[in-house]
């Protein structure tokens, strides 16, 4: 059984209904790195919010490990494009926030058990800090004292600290400059290999999706009556060279402008 099963999911907003997603059927296996690709407004982020459980499909259902989840919880980590960190907490407090709140309710935070665990968590957080390429001096900084790239690094560490089975990333690198973006891509790829977390990464950048993913899903934008559908589902081999990837990217970009996407891909 797949870890994530998206079963004929449709989503529409408002009255009169404006369809965003139309009967999406997908199965994502444990350990996959899936990039959801598509034009702006095609419903990529909506799909992610449905996976998070912060919104609910108007039709169909989403099963995670065989169960429906009706609100966000620890099984799914989340890295949004903006506002990823809590501005009132230092880097270290942001990273340890998850385990602290989930293991100790507020009234248990004055116990010696909490203090001992906190020291342990801080040690773990410092390890993560080093892994994501930040130095120890950064631990006491507040998010607004960090650059965009550093903030996203901390956000990733924060999400991974709770060891989620699924990591959902919504255009997490799109606000970064090209150099930092590449660096972040390398980082998330190595973290994914090290932790074996299932990653669903939403992006509109073809090159990025091909560089990161083991599988790319393209959503094709539909009309406001119909909504978007999955038009393409490609698995990327690890042995692909840079040249092959750029060729495939070029092909994907040209294909996404054509109407009959499915037919075009079957020739890939």
Partner 1 sequence: MLIVIGVAPTIILDTFNLTRGVPAEQVVKAFTLGAGDFDVAYRVVLKQIMPRVLNSIRLNLKAVMLFLFAGEMIASTDGLAYRIALLRRHMGMDVIVPYVLWVALLLFLVDWSMRFVNRRLHPWFRES
Question: How many residues in total does the chain contain?
Answer: 268
Question: Please, what is the minimum distance in Å from the beta carbon of residue 78 to partner 1?
Answer: 4
Backbone φ and ψ of 203, nearest 5°: -155, 160
Paired tokens of 104: 């100790």
The rounded distance, in Å, linking the Cα atoms of 224 and 168 is 26
Closest CB to partner 1 among 89 and 117? 89
Question: Please, what is the minimum distance in Å from the beta carbon of residue 181 to partner 1?
Answer: 20
Paired tokens of 137: 């001096």
Question: Please, what is the minimum distance in Å from the beta carbon of residue 221 to partner 1?
Answer: 24
Closest CB to partner 1 among 166 and 218? 166
The rounded distance, in Å, linking the Cα atoms of 68 and 80 is 22
Helices (H), 132-241: 148-161, 178-195, 206-212
Which residue, chain included where needed, has tokens 């909490």? 114
Closest CB to partner 1 among 77 and 227? 77
Beta carbons of 165 and 197 less than 8 angstroms apart? yes
Question: Please, what is the minimum distance in Å from the beta carbon of residue 198 to partner 1?
Answer: 14
Closest CB to partner 1 among 80 and 148? 80
Please return the burial class of 233, using the count of CB atoms within 10 Å of its CB with bins 0-12, 13-18 and 19+.
middle
Q: Rule CB under 8 A: which residues touch partner 1?
A: 52, 54, 71-74, 76-78, 80, 82-84, 86-89, 97-99, 101-103, 105-106, 142, 144, 158-159, 162, 164
Question: Please, what is the minimum distance in Å from the beta carbon of residue 48 to partner 1?
Answer: 10
Closest CB to partner 1 among 164 and 227? 164
């Amino acid at each position: 059984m797949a870890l994530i099963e998206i079963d004929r999911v449709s989503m529409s907003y408002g009255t009169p209904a404006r369809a965003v997603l139309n009967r999406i059927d997908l199965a994502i296996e444990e350990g996959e790195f899936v990039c959801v690709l598509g034009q702006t407004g095609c419903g990529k982020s909506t799909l992610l919010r449905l996976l998070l459980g912060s919104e609910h499909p108007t039709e169909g259902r989403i099963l995670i490990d065989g169960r429906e989840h009706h609100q966000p919880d620890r099984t799914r980590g989340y890295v949004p494009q903006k506002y990823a960190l809590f501005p009132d907490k230092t880097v270290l407090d942001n990273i340890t926030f998850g385990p602290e709140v989930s293991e100790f309710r507020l009234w248990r935070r004055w116990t010696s058990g909490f203090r001992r665990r906190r020291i342990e968590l801080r040690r773990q957080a410092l390890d993560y800090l080093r892994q994501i390429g930040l130095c120890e001096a950064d631990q006491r900084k507040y998010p607004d004292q960090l650059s965009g790239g550093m903030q996203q690094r901390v956000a990733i560490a924060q999400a991974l600290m709770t060891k989620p089975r699924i990591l959902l990333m919504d255009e997490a690198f799109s606000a970064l400059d090209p150099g930092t973006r590449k660096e972040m891509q390398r980082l998330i790829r190595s973290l994914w290999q090290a932790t074996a977390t299932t990653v669903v990464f939403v992006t509109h950048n073809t090159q990025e999706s091909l560089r990161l993913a083991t599988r790319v899903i393209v959503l094709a934008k539909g009309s406001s009556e119909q909504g978007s559908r999955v038009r393409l589902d490609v698995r990327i081999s690890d042995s692909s060279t840079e040249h092959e990837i750029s060729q495939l990217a070029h092909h994907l970009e040209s294909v996404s402008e054509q109407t009959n996407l499915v037919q075009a891909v079957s020739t890939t």
